[in-house]
Structure 1
């Protein structure tokens, strides 16, 4: 008997709740806001902004927009044991995320409410929506491989931890969930990534793995090591019942062809999730539609700033009901982890309403706009996909930055690309990428007109493992860390180019 058919019945009620997103989105979000405000009314933050007398959204808007820097003082006090500051009680878990201008890392509070009503709900709903999309699944007939990070004590406070969100989730996961996942907790939480990969490969190759979850770039490292140890050509030979990869953290586009080459089973599914240190926000509900369903009944209230207004002192901020399809927005969240009107840093574009579905288009800080071209990560991914298709190439990792003016007074975009399969012509790859970006982005096209402002982009081929080595040198292997895709400055690019040159000189 297929146990998934029986266990799957436990998800039917939740699937029906999600169906209400089609018709009751505004009411659901209003209830979420009411719940968050009421619960936080007697915190220090709630008293400052008089939460007891907030009755509707327009009154809530008197709370100023926040970023990490504006909340840092309260978060630092919370990390030292103070309670009832941003959220009721004492928060003992902190998700370590990439840093800010003034700090190497951010420490995002993860309250018990947030753990249960945001992060774990997202994981459960990923399964609920996947089983609906794939009714013949044998998901529960085997194990799930969850690739996690690591954690460490927080200021030596009892039971208080700081680390990757995935490590916090694994540390606190239900004992029942532990029965259906691999590797063992002590392996999943190892802090040295390369050793962790080795132990995962050693302990999982003989298990019946039906599903895998993690960041695509780091999961590739695990898959490759497993294939090396077993001598198998594809992962199907090792795990013949593997059927789904729940992926998130970075765009899957650059990795899609590599996964198709390593997992050849035509029944393999890929489901995108939008889970960040700050919360779990979206799930792919239709495996044929890349847009994700915005999860609106968690402990997250959403607002949105039109991207062109992000840096204005008084931007026009709208709730979910006020968004327009096809427009880029910066996401603003209020959550049961104590983040209030917090600018997340991600940009999204809605593809439909009722229910609200969206795609991630980039980061408010991850784009190139050195010459007014406003090149977004979403543009870059689409352009690379076309160039790969035209030349037979496969891109493993990449990063791009502007060249403001070279010795010949020429300005351009410089792309550093690590290929897993070289294009049949690097020049043609460059030309297709450049032409595609002009077609996709009218601002880039205007700046490229007759080579007046921007000249044709430049491609530099990265040596194998360059980006891995760059992340390792910066202490950012594994976990939530990722290669910066588009940068408006040259700091990262210059570091990578030096490392690329150092290695090549030593070869």
Structure 2
């Protein structure tokens, strides 16, 4: 009776929530400028606000003139002062949390989350579920158990500011009505050894009525594989009431075939776009492609055409200026004190009013050793199209340039771990090369002009990417290996896992 009541209440809440959300979808372009000016006004007496003349900002154009695009290194001197307990530096007061993330050039990054910003992290996830329930007209999953594959919820303190991984921070804010249904246990969640943690999660969940499972695709697959190996059954046989998978962190499409094979039955998928800097978007209609951009969640967005990114005087477009099917570097100003912050993600709009996006890559994850500037979206779409013509299945892949092959022309080298290898790898290679040429005219010109030869495929052993991640200390719920690079740092290490 209690579960029946909970299900029906969730359905009513969801429909009311979606109706209310229609307002921000209609007014997103106007609301964005109002939001920016409100953020500037709130922070005008902070150190950053005083240094950047926030008192005299009256428009988006004023803001763009006075505040340059920044990365973490640019904001680091301010963040270091915040870490020492100083208030009113980037935002009023001190942050409620620091989300600690791994960096490359900067070492660990400390992303501030203010008391105003934290509720939006939770609201984004809740809104994704409410939109799903309303569209599905079904909230059965609230009656079963739910699992979130995430980092440890244990936190340290940096001058009184609670610090930890974002997923661990969020674990402290799960609504009470979901807590009783939530797995794994606290003891399991705080385990740092990821493999041992997943083994323990399997033990805790294998006999439960799992109805919702959330996590990034590579680690969902790891969890599902351990379950299927142990029971000799597909996931839908183990969890017949599993209704929904919520995923984020990477593009889901390259993992879809593998996931569907492991699941062995129909499960709805909702994709999301969360980060330490904010909860940006989610799939508001699980039956359609594209993620709804959240324009009323304390974040002002700017979009830099990818071909101009990093150049002096690059265009900084707002929501009203964007074009469909074009790649933009995402720049954020947030109610946690990040100002014109380049997050490193690349998005493309596939719909306006409401504004829906695809995450098409990372500004630092591309291959352009020969001027081709191939991005993640292009390689993921190319391999997806090639797999449609071949009865094969890819576990994971990485693309890197081979500039000095020793003999012959240079080429793109694809390191691919197949779950099911194509019968004719050479034919698959030709199709993959053709599909990439269709998606990137610069690459096509380099091939047709005999500057590059066709791509090469290097076959990797089973579990190669898992073992590589483990060897680099990158095994865990929020870590993922870049799909492509402009150098051979990862490629040289993957050489050890070739067949």
TM class by shorter chain equals: over 0.9
Q: Which runs of 5+ in 2 are unaligned?
A: none
Cα deviation 1:237-287 (Å, max 9, x = unaligned): 221111111111111122101111111223x11111011122111111222
Asked if residue 112 in structure 1 is aligned to residue 109 in structure 2, the reply is no
Paired residue for 2:42?
39
Mapped to 2, the partners of 1:135 and 1:55 lie a distance apart of 44
2:32/2:300 contact within 8 Å kept: yes
Aligned partners of 2:130 and 2:235: how far apart in 1? 25
Partners of 1:390 and 1:353 lie apart in 2 by 32
Which residue pairs with 1:462 in the alignment? 460
* Shift in Å, 1:409: 4.1
- Deviations for 1:71-123, whole angstroms, at most 9, x for unmatched residues? 1122122223222211122225222334132x333221222221112x11111
Deviation of the 1:156 alpha carbon = 5.7
User: Which TM-score applies when normalising by structure 2?
Assistant: 0.95
1:89, 1:120 → 2: CA distance?
Answer: 21
Q: How many angstroms does 1:152 deviate by?
A: 5.6
Q: Deviation per CA, 1:401-424: give whole Å up to 9, x if none.
A: 001122114110001011111112
* Distance of 2:174 and 2:53 partners within structure 1: 35
- For residues 465-494 of structure 1, the C-alpha deviation after alignment (integer angstroms, 9 at most, x for no partner) is 111111112111113211111101111111
> Mean alpha-carbon deviation: is it higher for 294-303 or for 24-33?
24-33
Instruction: Determine whether 1:471 maps to 2:480.
Output: no
Deviations 1:132-159 (A, max 9, x none): 2211341211122111112665466446
SS in 1 for 2:27: helix
Q: Confirm or deny: 8 A CA contact 1:79 1:91 kept in the other structure.
A: no
CA distance in 2, matches of 1:325, 1:149: 35
Residues 214-363 of structure 1 aligned to structure 2 (within 5 Å):
214-229=215-230, 231-266=231-266, 268-363=267-362
Counterpart mapping for 1:59-98 below 5 A:
59-61=62-64, 62-98=66-102
In structure 2, do the counterparts of structure 1 residues 177 and 241 end up closer, same or farther at CA, with 3 Å as the change threshold? same
Please name the residue that 1:492 is paired with: 490
Question: In 2, Cα distance between the equivalents of 1:172 and 1:355?
Answer: 28
* In 2, Cα distance between equivalents of 1:152 and 1:205: 25
Alignment of 1:51 onto 2:54: yes
1:161 positional shift: 1.8
- Aligned partners of 1:148 and 1:189 also within 8 Å: no
**Of the candidates 11, 16, 31, which is equivalent to residue 13 of structure 1?**
16
- Cα distance in 1 for partners of 2:492, 2:254 equals 22
Distance in 2 separating the partners of 1:208 and 1:152: 27
Identify the residue that residue 367 of structure 2 maps to in structure 1.
368
Q: Structure 1 311/156 Cα, relative in aligned 2: closer, same or farther at 3 Å?
A: closer
Whether the aligned pair in 1 keeps the contact of 2:271 and 2:291 (CA below 8 Å) is yes
The separation in 1 between residues aligned to 2:422 and 2:107, in whole angstroms, is 37
1:388-412: CA deviations, max 9, x gaps? 2222111111101001122114110
Residue correspondence of structure 1 range 56-205 to structure 2 within 5 A: 56-61=59-64, 62-101=66-105, 103-117=106-120, 119-150=121-152, 153-154=155-156, 157-158=159-160, 160-162=162-164, 164-205=165-206
Q: Separation in 1 of the partners of 2:377 and 2:386?
A: 14
Residue 377, structure 1, aligned to residue 376, structure 2: yes
Give the secondary-structure state (helix, strand or coil) at the position aligned to 2:37.
helix
**CA RMSD for the aligned pairs?**
1.8
Gaps of 5+ in 1: none
**Deviation, structure 1 residue 174:** 3.6
Distance 2:240 2:41 in 1: 50
Q: TM-score, normalised by structure 1?
A: 0.93
